[in-house]
Structure 1
């Protein structure tokens, strides 16, 4: 279910100068904010939760995942070069699974590590907050990558839809309407952070741990599986 050539081409596409620069801006901004907050307020647990939860997990992670998840296949479909892959003796599911793995690896490099470093800068992992949000970020990266990869296969407006989901549905509606958390990767992943962080850290999710884990798994497995099914329906003209 993993193809080295497909992986190499996908890594090259995602780590191209322009896309890598765009993905690198948000993590860099996160680290700058972490340093500034630490200098202004010291090792403040509440500020740490605010930065890691309100900015890193709510904005940095989904936005980077939109770029990497959709960028792993959508450009190939748009310019027709996906025909090159489809003409090879490689199963469509293997192509999708490989691209998913690469998207997770690239996104993780631009999010998981910066979130952990930012947490250490902010409060030195007091009350396990840095570790908690790092685990939540890793879980979110996996689910987001599957969802946005699927969007890249089924829609030519994958980036726009992904941004609407990340910025409007999760970041805006997710805060104003508690029930939205049931359909929010951010809230699903926060269930892990809630379990890892100390009780006094005030890290919480709107969904329970079992529900969050089940939904994360369903989104990941379902997204990768259905993306493979949809890719299998493509003709050599690049049409559904």
Structure 2
């Protein structure tokens, strides 16, 4: 009788569940970023515009025009400070911590596509930043003017800072993948490029996320803006380009063997 040799088939691996993988990556990101110190810092930054609104509301008619007050506080504190700082902390912390403890090396050896790892981290940082920043705008607006929304400023800036949170998170997530000094470089970018240069030089406004946020907010307010600087259409296209570049370059960066450079 001839004998038949049984050849074992190669193991078959199931298809990657992108939703489940994204949820796992987001939970890991929260575990790396949800420290008491970081949470306290984020809450302190978010509380600043609310505190200014409390002072404004306590003075009653002596406070002046609520439109001017809201525009100034939203532009300088929420758009210029809170949104980029929160995005910087959330966009850089997870990759930095996972590089230090070796978790990132394990993640990239799984069957999960590298670009999906980057996109999942970007979704975590952008959505959380956008929700927190928009919540700060709504809370400070409610404290200052109650349920009224003069010229649609509160609703306009709520949308604008959510947009800004997505854009900043993409920028700082890419920064975390490209340099080990991402936190320092990000702070220099926020304070110097966005804070000083974008207000001084007209051309830099087209490369400023803060000015993009202003353009989005002005397009949603009653009466619009003054038409100077980038338009809302330009801002939306620019944000899409930043997100696409982050996912593409971030995915390629995770394919490189020397991942020890990643982090802050």
TM-score above 0.5, yes or no? yes
Per the TM alignment, residue 88 of structure 1 is displaced from its structure 2 partner at its CA by: 2.3
Distance across 1 between alignment mates of 2:133 and 2:64: 23
Alignment match, 1:52: 74
Q: Aligned pair in 2 of structure 1 residues 238, 198: CA closer, same or farther (>3 Å)? A: same
Alignment match, 1:88: 110
**1:181 aligned to 2:200?**
no
Alignment match, 2:180: 156
Alignment match, 1:135: 159
Give 1:209-228 correspondences, 5 Å limit: 209-228=232-251
Q: Aligned pair in 2 of structure 1 residues 11, 20: CA closer, same or farther (>3 Å)? A: same
Per the TM alignment, residue 45 of structure 1 is displaced from its structure 2 partner at its CA by: 0.5
**1:145 aligned to 2:164?**
no
Q: Of 103, 121, 126, which aligns to 2:143?
A: 121
**1:27 aligned to 2:46?**
yes
Q: Of 27, 39, 47, which aligns to 1:8?
A: 27
Moved more, 16-25 or 138-147: 16-25
Q: Aligned pair in 2 of structure 1 residues 195, 239: CA closer, same or farther (>3 Å)? A: closer
Contact 1:104 1:141 survives alignment (8 Å): yes
Q: Deviations over 1:198-232 (max 9, x none)?
A: 12x76766212222221111112212221122112
Aligned length in residues: 238
Q: Which has the larger radius of gyration?
A: 2
Alignment match, 1:195: 219
Distance across 2 between alignment mates of 1:109 and 1:136: 11
Stretches of structure 2 that go unaligned for 5 or more consecutive residues are 1-17
- TM-score, length of structure 2 as denominator length: 0.83
Per the TM alignment, residue 87 of structure 1 is displaced from its structure 2 partner at its CA by: 2.6
SS of match in other structure, 1:72: helix
- TM-score, length of structure 1 as denominator length: 0.91
Q: Please, what is the CA RMSD of the aligned residues?
A: 2.0
Alignment match, 1:62: 84
Per the TM alignment, residue 105 of structure 1 is displaced from its structure 2 partner at its CA by: 2.5
Contact 1:27 1:114 survives alignment (8 Å): yes
